[in-house]
């Protein structure tokens, strides 16, 4: 094997062992094709989805109609952001959710036979392999449903916490609003400014009139007292405007003696005096109360304004909390979509593995490579034998000459 081998030598070596190469290639093709037809087929189902770039902001109780406008949801053109969602879908927790729907499939088996990748169009693609095409499609769709369930539960828990906080705040606001309304009703039950002024004016007029009447009664009492002290026997005409002296003189028997009449009138006037004095004291007390109310009116006006503003603020806060609470309940009951399915998995018609012709072709190529190496190996062995034969032929005459020389040599 002395000398440098050329490309021609390699080619001749392959050509010399062409039948060996052909046998290896044909054997690889036939064996792989037969094995592919014997192995059970494996089907692969695919579903495509994407996580919206921004979740749709839907307000069920919004007053603005623009909140109800449906905006298109677009995928995230970023592998890092999509990688988080892919990681959640690949997690064991997501596989356990799928396992609940397919108890005959273990979690490890599901994770082994499922590939979740980000496609060139930034769509998340889920590939599931199984020997049953319907099961493969069902598992692929179940992965999407499990991820959507995870997102829905997360949003539901967040809405539940928000709802509890809003309900607690609403109870506190209702208690404060009820207390302030009660205080305002009690405050408004008192006299206002106009009523206090009018009542004060009326009481003063009534007080002046009562005092004048009291003065007149006292004058009549003084006059009656002076008449009694004179011990007159005749009926003294009354000083009152309703008295008629002629009638009194003409009918003395109807009134009795002059002294009895005077005493009776004196008693009546004394009672009138006491009644008027009691009324004056009552009117003075009422007037003092009205004056005090008028004096404290500015402070009470400020208090009334404060209560009114507080009630207005609490009413607006209550309405806002009720609206937010209704929104939170609806968001909890109908969470917005978190996944958009671009292509739902359907049972594949053809198996993904094995593909007999493709596998046989690949095996033939590998058989060709192996056959070439095998041919070169056979060529190497052939050349090695030739070198050994040539070496033996070259050394045999030399050995005979040495033996003859040794035989005829003189010691």
Q: Hey, what are 79's tokens?
A: 């592998």
Are 367 and 284 part of one and the same domain? Answer: no
- Is residue 6 in a domain? yes
Are 313 and 363 part of one and the same domain? Answer: no
Residue 397's domain comprises 1-39+354-411
Per DSSP (E only), the strands in 13-152 are: 43-50, 114-118, 124-130
Give the pLDDT of residue 366: 94
Instruction: Count each helix (H run) and each strand (E run) in the chain, helices first.
Output: 11, 4
- Is residue 138 in a domain? no
Taken as a whole, the chain contains a residue count of 411
Are 303 and 205 part of one and the same domain? Answer: yes
Are 247 and 304 part of one and the same domain? Answer: yes
Say how far apart CA 363 and CA 68 lie, in whole Å. 60
Q: What is the tally of structural domains in the chain?
A: 2
Residues in contact with 140: Cβ distance below 8 Å, sequence separation at least 6, in sequence order: 45, 46, 47, 114, 126, 127, 128, 345
- Is residue 160 in a domain? no
- Is residue 371 in a domain? yes
- Is residue 391 in a domain? yes
Are 303 and 374 part of one and the same domain? Answer: no
- Is residue 158 in a domain? no
Are 316 and 379 part of one and the same domain? Answer: no
- Is residue 121 in a domain? no
State residue 266 phi and psi, 5-degree precision: -65, -40
CB 35 within 8 A of CB 331: no
Are 320 and 362 part of one and the same domain? Answer: no
Say how far apart CA 193 and CA 296 lie, in whole Å. 10
Strand order in the sheet with 114-118: 114-118, 124-130, 43-50, 340-343
Q: Hey, what are 200's tokens?
A: 């004060």
Give the pLDDT of residue 45: 94
Are 253 and 376 part of one and the same domain? Answer: no
Residue in the block written with tokens 């995928």: 75
Are 199 and 318 part of one and the same domain? Answer: yes
Please provide the distance, in angstroms rounded to a whole number, between the alpha carbons at the two ends of the chain: 43
Are 201 and 316 part of one and the same domain? Answer: yes
Are 318 and 362 part of one and the same domain? Answer: no
Buried b (16+ CB within 10 A) or exposed e, 358-369: ebbeebbeebbe
- Spans of the chain, pLDDT less than 50: 1-2, 56, 59-60, 63-72, 193-194, 231-256, 408-411
CB 98 within 8 A of CB 139: yes
Are 258 and 317 part of one and the same domain? Answer: yes
Give the pLDDT of residue 22: 92
Q: Hey, what are 116's tokens?
A: 């979740």
Say how far apart CA 375 and CA 10 lie, in whole Å. 10
Q: What's the pLDDT tens digit per position in 67-99?
A: 444 444 555 656 666 777 888 888 999 999 999
Q: Hey, what are 49's tokens?
A: 């989805």
- Is residue 252 in a domain? yes
């Amino acid at each position: 094997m002395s000398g440098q081998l050329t490309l021609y030598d390699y080619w001749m070596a392959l050509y010399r062992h062409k039948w060996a190469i052909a046998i290896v290639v044909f054997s690889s093709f036939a064996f792989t094709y037969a094995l592919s037809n014997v192995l059970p087929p494996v089907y692969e189902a695919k579903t495509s989805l994407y996580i919206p770039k921004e979740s749709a902001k839907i307000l069920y109780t919004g007053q603005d109609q623009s909140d109800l406008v449906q905006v298109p949801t677009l995928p995230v053109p970023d592998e890092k952001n999509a990688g988080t969602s892919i990681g959640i879908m690949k997690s064991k927790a997501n596989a356990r959710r799928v396992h609940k729907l397919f108890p005959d499939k273990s979690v490890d088996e599901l994770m082994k036979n499922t590939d979740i990748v980000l496609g060139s169009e930034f769509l998340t693609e889920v590939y599931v392999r199984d020997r049953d095409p319907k099961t493969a499609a069902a598992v692929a769709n179940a992965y999407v449903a499990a991820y959507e369930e995870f997102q829905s539960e997360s949003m539901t828990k967040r809405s539940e916490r928000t709802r509890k906080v809003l309900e607690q705040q609403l109870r506190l606001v209702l208690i404060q609003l009820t207390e302030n309304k009660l205080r305002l009703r009690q405050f408004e039950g008192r006299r206002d400014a106009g009523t206090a002024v009018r009542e004060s004016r009326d009481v003063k007029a009534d007080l002046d009139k009562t005092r004048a009447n009291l003065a007149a009664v006292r004058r009549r009492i003084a006059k009656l007292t002076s008449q009694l002290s004179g011990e007159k026997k005749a009926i003294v005409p009354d000083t009152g405007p309703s008295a008629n002296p002629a009638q009194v003189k003409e009918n003395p028997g109807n009134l009795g003696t002059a002294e009895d009449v005077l005493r009776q009138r004196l008693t009546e006037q004394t009672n009138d005096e006491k009644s008027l004095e009691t009324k004056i004291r009552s009117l003075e007390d009422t007037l003092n109360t009205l004056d005090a109310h008028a004096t404290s009116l500015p402070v009470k006006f400020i208090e009334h304004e404060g209560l009114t503003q507080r009630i207005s603020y609490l009413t607006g806060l209550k309405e806002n909390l009720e609206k937010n609470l209704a929104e939170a309940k609806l968001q909890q009951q109908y969470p917005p979509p978190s996944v958009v399915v671009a292509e739902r998995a359907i049972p594949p018609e053809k198996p993904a593995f094995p593909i007999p012709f493709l596998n046989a072709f690949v095996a033939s190529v590998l058989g060709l490579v192996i056959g070439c190496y095998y041919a070169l190996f056979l060529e190497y062995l052939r050349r090695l034998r030739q070198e050994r034969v040539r070496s033996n032929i070259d050394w045999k005459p030399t050995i005979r000459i040495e033996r003859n020389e040794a035989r005829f040599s003189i010691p």
